[in-house]
Copies of this chain bind each other. A is one copy, B any other.
């Protein structure tokens, strides 16, 4: 995700310095005009805005620890990873003590959205910092929403993943039920795909499920990470989410069945296996 986003910033005329744990990947951005910097601290020194885009909470914490000695008051750090809301609040409070602004700004829309600059960006943190970052967000995304104080962007992203997961479970159970009932599942999608059952998940992943095309749009491994984050945040809020707990188990079953590097629609295979046990 980081590479196409950096490319859009470069195209918009910004100077971009890039650091990555896989520095070879970063080198691919050199022809686009990026300066590849192998030392994280040197990469961020003096920058107007510093973007972080890594997989999980410990990765963000690690990056922040590496760059912190090089940060100066007045700088702005924008984390676009999907990680724990409470971890974001802790990082934000810590950086505030050295005068550095911090935004959590996770995205949805996947790699196609990153390439085309149509990401949805959900932002938490100081509103003044959000206003400062807004022109940069507009290079990267289309639907940019300020959600509230630090962590609010992450809570929004996790709410999105809850809805995504349960909607997909609904599509998968509807198709399994229809198949067991002797129907042609493609015809079922035709019949029900435009009414009250309609969803992005049904329109986009339904046909792939029917074709057993499990090539990844979004990896099950990453969604499982997000659902773990949901579970942690819900526990902090003493917030029971029974459907989410169930669908998380189904995605874990999908992983056990070898689907971690498949797209989320491989949930269909997990339910199929689960459902076949008599």
- Give A contacts to B, CB under 8 Å: 85, 108-109, 120, 122, 143, 145, 147-149, 151-152, 155-156, 158-167, 169-171, 173-178, 180-184, 187-188, 190-192, 194-202, 204, 218, 230, 233-234, 237-244, 246-247, 250, 271, 274-275, 277-278
Residues of B within 8 A of A238 (CB): 180, 278
When the two chains form the complex, which single residue of B122, B192, B199 contacts A201, counting CB atoms closer than 8 Å?
Answer: B199
Separation of A173 and B244 alpha carbons in the complex (Å)? 8
Residues of B within 8 A of A275 (CB): 239-241
When the two chains form the complex, which single residue of B120, B147, B196 contacts A108, counting CB atoms closer than 8 Å?
Answer: B196
Q: Within the complex, what minimum Cβ distance (angstroms) separates A182 from chain B?
A: 7
Residues of B within 8 A of A165 (CB): 170
Known contacts A148-B183, A183-B152, A243-B169: A177-B158 contact under CB 8 Å: yes
Interchain residue pairs with CB less than 8 A apart (7): A108-B192, A149-B182, A155-B177, A156-B192, A169-B170, A176-B239, A196-B201
Q: Within the complex, what minimum Cβ distance (angstroms) separates A23 from chain B?
A: 31
The answer to whether B160 and A164 touch across the interface, beta carbons within 8 angstroms, is: no
Separation of A277 and B241 alpha carbons in the complex (Å)? 11
When the two chains form the complex, which single residue of B147, B192, B198, B246 contacts A159, counting CB atoms closer than 8 Å?
Answer: B192
The answer to whether A196 and B160 touch across the interface, beta carbons within 8 angstroms, is: yes
Residues of B within 8 A of A204 (CB): 196
The answer to whether A164 and B196 touch across the interface, beta carbons within 8 angstroms, is: yes
The answer to whether B277 and A240 touch across the interface, beta carbons within 8 angstroms, is: yes
The answer to whether B176 and A274 touch across the interface, beta carbons within 8 angstroms, is: no
Known contacts A145-B190, A152-B182: A242-B246 contact under CB 8 Å: yes
